[in-house]
Amino acid sequence: MAQRSFVVRNLNDLLIFDWDGTLADSTVAIVDALRLASHDLNLPEPSDQASRDIIGLELFVGLKVLFGDIDADLLQAVAERYKHHYNVRSADIRLFDGVEAALPALAEDGFMLAVASGKGRRGLMRAIEQAEFTDLMLATRSSDDCFSKPHPQMLEEIMDELGVTSERTLMVGDTTFDLQMAQNAGVASLAVSYGAQTEHALIPHKPLACFDNFATLHAWLRTNA
């Protein structure tokens, strides 16, 4: 891996991004996979909004929220059918407009970049490799490594690994779970409303700002972070 030297910044050294709905335009694929999994197992079809509202949680935690008190074998079956339907669509998932160019530019500006995702480890690394961001992401945490969001463990471990304090870290996400995780870790946050959840849902969790496209988020980071 190529070595990079980092410029000391005035405010934030470390940017931690959620993946689904923040960097990758995967919300529709997730919602569709949940709907198809419910059909496969004759479960009530969740609404699109209900499915959006669990994005960011560890898979089994989210499925319990979505489908209620189902037994362990059925829960496992739903998870397997969801993974099947999602993986069928995963090769077609693209980054949001501007992400591909922005992340290398942010790294050149001196930011350390990391990912904290509700995806499993295998799926997260596959997505990062597909995006050709392996060398950019200095640390990653998934739902296989840590407690589910909004527990702060993902952020705490990334900060410890990279030697950055909470005061110099910024979390960027598209769900209330991302913003609550940041609050629980004592980290400032930015929200994006182009992913799973709306600005109305995100603003009560006190992000520094909320953006409806990645280009304006990138511009804010370069000016203010």
Global pTM value: 0.91
Q: What is the pLDDT of residue 2?
A: 38
Domain with CATH 1.10.150 in the chain: 27-90
Question: Are residues 86 and 27 in contact, defined by beta-carbon separation less than 8 angstroms?
Answer: no
Q: The tokens 């499915």 sit on which residue?
A: 51
Q: Quickly name the fold that domain 27-90 has.
A: DNA polymerase; domain 1 (1.10.150)
Token representation of residue 128: 């990062």
In 91-213, where does DSSP find H-type helix?
Answer: 99-108, 121-130, 153-162, 176-185, 199-202
Q: Is the confidence at residue 135, as pLDDT, over 60?
A: yes
Instruction: With cut-offs at 50, 70 and 90, classify the pLDDT of residue 6.
Output: very low
Domain with CATH 3.40.50.1000 in the chain: 14-25+94-224
Instruction: With cut-offs at 50, 70 and 90, classify the pLDDT of residue 69.
Output: confident
C-alpha angle 111/27/41, rounded to 5°?
Answer: 140
**Strand runs (DSSP E) across the chain, as ranges?**
14-17, 112-116, 137-141, 169-173, 188-192, 210-211
189 φ/ψ angles, rounded to the nearest 5 degrees: -140, 160
Superfamily covering domain 14-25+94-224: HAD superfamily/HAD-like (3.40.50.1000)
Q: What is the mean pLDDT of the chain?
A: 93
Question: Are residues 114 and 137 in contact, defined by beta-carbon separation less than 8 angstroms?
Answer: yes
Instruction: With cut-offs at 50, 70 and 90, classify the pLDDT of residue 25.
Output: very high
